[in-house]
Amino acid sequence: MNLTTTKLIKKGHACVVLVKDEATLVIDPGGFSEPDAAVGADAILVTHEHPDHFDEGRLRTAMEANPGAEIWTLRSVAEQLAPAFPGRVHTVGHGDAFTAADFEVEVHGELHAVIHPDLPRVTNVGYVVDDGQVFHPGDALTVPGRPVENLMLPVHAPWSKLSEVVDYVREVRPDRTFSLHDGLLSDNGFAIYDRMLGEAGPGLGGAVHRRLVPGESTDLPD
């Protein structure tokens, strides 16, 4: 278990920031997040190539702002960035493990969830951070097969429905879940998902759910 306090900062849509000691890790600063979501990052993780998770211009800005920053991602994204930042963009896949800044990261998953059978599936990887303290699955309901304390939960997408989201949490069995992938929801939608993932809903198998608004932060329990 991580013995150092980690701060979780919610950014727009699918992006989260983790801050521990002097290290900052950003996951999925895409086009639906704040333009400066990745600026100041020491390490950046990208789950897949869809524009709401990957914005090449914003990543380039972050990499230029911090010459020591590095990116870990799958091949389809790495190929677009590696030529401009030699030695700073790393290709990863399912089963890999590495250190990004001061964070220990494991890679889980291989494919994006099915949007429609007639559409090709792109590669998607999820990231377990610091021995299960955080899991960000990207655009898939990947079960990492190991304990997870805080699940970044994609609550709303063209590829999912509420029953699948609930059953996914029950299968992963985290201590807590945080709403993620919610950039297409209105206030009415937030109210519905907050209720269904809370005490009034069918139940998450004991996990406590929370929604942070963009810019809001919380300290993750040790």
Contact between 132 and 176 (Cβ < 8 Å): no
Question: What pLDDT score was predicted for residue 103?
Answer: 98
What's the sign of the alpha-carbon dihedral 117, 118, 119, 121?
Answer: positive
Sorted by where each starts, the structural domains of the chain and their CATH numbers stand as 6-111+120-212 (3.60.15.10)
3-state secondary structure of 166: helix
pLDDT for position 3: 62
Q: Please give the pLDDT value at position 221.
A: 81
pLDDT in tens, the chain (222 residues): 456 799 999 999 999 999 999 899 999 999 999 999 999 999 999 999 999 999 999 999 999 999 999 999 999 999 999 999 999 999 999 999 999 999 999 999 999 999 999 999 999 999 999 999 999 999 999 999 999 999 999 999 999 999 999 999 999 999 999 999 999 999 999 999 999 999 999 999 999 999 999 999 999 986
- CA 82 – CA 6 distance, rounded (Å): 29
Angle at the Cα of 177 (from 149 to 72), degrees rounded to 5? 70
pLDDT of residue 219: 97
Contacts of 86 (CB under 8 A, 6+ apart): none
Bridge partners of 91?
73
